[in-house]
């Protein structure tokens, strides 16, 4: 007998390493820095939501739910979408509960992308999109958002769409750029997609964080888009419970049927008591309707504090991210600047270059303001020195 040996494994994702979010969080912990890097709240959710989870567990709602999700939650989500965005999804055939938006996006990609298909992503973009497409055997077609404003460049989007394009992934409100697509922009997208067979994966996890009275224009609100869209939401973002990993996908029945084929042999079902709790909690719209004002106040507090520094504030229309142009402070690359900021200033941030393949450099860093006021004030004391 030879010694036990682990077989060689050629990587399915040879270019993927540890994500920048984990790297910066570890560095923040090591340096005792205020962690404004990774996007998660440092405050707790509404205790009433926790009570509802506890109630569901004590009521014995602890076994497998239906594959597509607890019916009461799917009904609550369909009612919410109908009330806010005006489209009536059938909860039986068109709403699926997922293990967060991350699984929803992967499942949508696996369900629709065939080997050799192209999928358009708009850079900078969330880091899971490209590996998801590669896992499905697809080709990632990267189109930059307009440098400086991060608004969609429709000429480039239209030019990127061809006979092999299976889907486009759009994220509004946007992480990391905090841009919210206008109705005119969503309609322009609809116009470009109308003559094609291209599907839309609409990542709308920050749908309830839109500021200054602007509206979130969901793909579900534009019939031409909704007819071809997987619309992805996340309760983690909306109810300050990112660790719960519960989200939903709304899509026309034919698309949902394909989505569920992948879902049932991937996660199969999502944890039951959380779903019941969320269904009951959604009966009151106040928590999600009040989220924009809640985060707008934090955004304003944070921006007012940063105004004292030489960091230049980019617009923040939505999401819980504030990007800053640090070119008046440093010539370092974005990754080096974020490491320096964490070690020397004591505030962790994320380089925007991490959201681009090949690391496009713009001297911009992303800070997360989903933090307690005292955390933001501690960070501001340090950042005001810049």
Ligand X SMILES: Cc1ncc(COP(=O)(O)O)c(C=O)c1O
| Site residues, ligand X (CB under 6 A) | 39, 100-102, 126, 171, 175, 203, 205, 234, 236, 242, 245, 247
What does the buried/exposed string (b/e) look like for 33-53 if buried means 16 or more CB atoms within 10 Å of the residue's CB?
Answer: bbbbbbbbbeeebeeebeebb
- Shortest CB 205 distance to ligand X, Å: 5
Residue whose CB is less far from ligand X, 225 or 345: 225
β-strand 95-98 against 118-123: which pairing, if any?
Answer: unpaired
- Shortest CB 57 distance to ligand X, Å: 22
- Shortest CB 268 distance to ligand X, Å: 17
Burial of 353 (0-12, 13-18, 19+ CB in 10 A): buried
Rounded Cα distance between 193 and 162, Å, is 11
Length of the chain: 386
Q: Helix, strand or coil for residue 200? A: strand
Read off the DSSP letter of residue 3: P
Residue whose CB is less far from ligand X, 76 or 329: 76
Largest CA distance in the chain: 72
Residue whose CB is less far from ligand X, 107 or 175: 175
Task: List all residues 6 or more positions away from 374 whose beta carbon is below 8 Å from its beta carbon.
Answer: none
Q: Helix, strand or coil for residue 243? A: helix
- Shortest CB 307 distance to ligand X, Å: 26
Residue whose CB is less far from ligand X, 108 or 189: 108
Q: Helix, strand or coil for residue 356? A: coil
**In 3D, which of 153, 158, 229 has the Cα closest to residue 192?**
158
21 within 8 A of 37, measured Cβ to Cβ: yes
Residue 180's CB is within 10 A of a number of other CB atoms, namely 24
Read off the DSSP letter of residue 6: P
Residue whose CB is less far from ligand X, 40 or 345: 40
- Shortest CB 67 distance to ligand X, Å: 19
- Shortest CB 180 distance to ligand X, Å: 13
Rounded Cα distance between 362 and 104, Å, is 31
- Shortest CB 59 distance to ligand X, Å: 26
Q: Helix, strand or coil for residue 16? A: coil
* Cβ-proximal residue to ligand X, closest one: 100
Residue whose CB is less far from ligand X, 167 or 380: 167
Q: Which residue has the tokens 């309760």?
A: 235
Read off the DSSP letter of residue 266: T
Residue whose CB is less far from ligand X, 345 or 352: 352
- Compute CA 54 distance to the chain's CA centroid, rounded to the nearest angstrom: 28
- Shortest CB 108 distance to ligand X, Å: 12
- Shortest CB 384 distance to ligand X, Å: 27
Residue whose CB is less far from ligand X, 33 or 246: 246
- Shortest CB 292 distance to ligand X, Å: 17
222 within 8 A of 186, measured Cβ to Cβ: yes
Helix or strand holding residue 134 (H, E): helix 129-135
Residue whose CB is less far from ligand X, 142 or 343: 142
Q: Which residue has the tokens 């394909």?
A: 258
Residue whose CB is less far from ligand X, 42 or 92: 42
């Amino acid at each position: 007998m030879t010694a036990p040996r682990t077989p060689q494994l050629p990587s399915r994702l040879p270019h993927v390493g540890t994500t920048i979010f984990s790297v910066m969080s570890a560095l923040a912990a090591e340096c005792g820095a205020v962690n404004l890097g990774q996007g998660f709240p440092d405050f707790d959710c509404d205790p009433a939501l926790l009570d509802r989870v506890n109630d569901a567990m004590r009521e014995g709602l602890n076994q497998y739910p239906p594959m597509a999700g607890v019916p009461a939650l799917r009904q609550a989500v369909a009612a919410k979408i109908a009330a806010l965005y005006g489209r009536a999804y059938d909860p039986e055939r068109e709403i699926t509960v997922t293990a967060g938006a991350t699984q929803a996006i992967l499942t949508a990609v696996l369900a629709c992308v065939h080997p050799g298909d192209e999928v358009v992503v708009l850079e900078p973009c969330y880091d899971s999109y490209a590996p998801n497409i590669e896992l499905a055997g697809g080709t990632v077609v990267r189109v930059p958002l307009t440098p400086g404003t991060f608004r969609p460049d429709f000429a480039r989007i239209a030019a990127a769409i061809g006979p092999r394009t299976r889907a486009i992934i759009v994220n509004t409100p946007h992480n990391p750029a905090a841009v919210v697509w206008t109705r005119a922009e969503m309609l322009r997208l609809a116009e470009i997609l109308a003559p094609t067979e291209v599907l839309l994966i609409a990542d709308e996890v920050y749908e309830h964080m839109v500021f200054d009275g602007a509206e979130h224009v969901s793909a579900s609100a534009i019939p031409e888009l909704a007819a071809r869209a997987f619309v992805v939401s996340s309760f983690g973002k909306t109810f300050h419970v990112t660790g719960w990993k519960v989200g939903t996908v709304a899509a026309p029945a034919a698309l949902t049927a394909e989505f569920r084929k992948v879902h049932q042999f991937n996660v199969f079902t999502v944890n039951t008591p959380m779903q019941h709790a969320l269904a009951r909690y959604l009966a009151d719209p106040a928590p999600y309707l009040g989220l924009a004002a809640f985060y707008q106040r934090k955004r304003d507090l944070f921006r007012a504090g940063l105004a004292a520094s030489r960091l230049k504030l980019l617009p923040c229309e939505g999401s819980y991210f504030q990007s800053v142009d640090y070119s008046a402070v440093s010539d370092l690359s974005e990754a080096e600047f974020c490491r320096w900021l964490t070690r020397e200033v004591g505030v962790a941030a994320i380089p925007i270059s991490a959201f681009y393949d090949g690391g496009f450099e713009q001297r911009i860093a992303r800070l997360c303001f989903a933090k307690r006021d005292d955390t933001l004030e501690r960070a501001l004391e340090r950042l005001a020195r810049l």
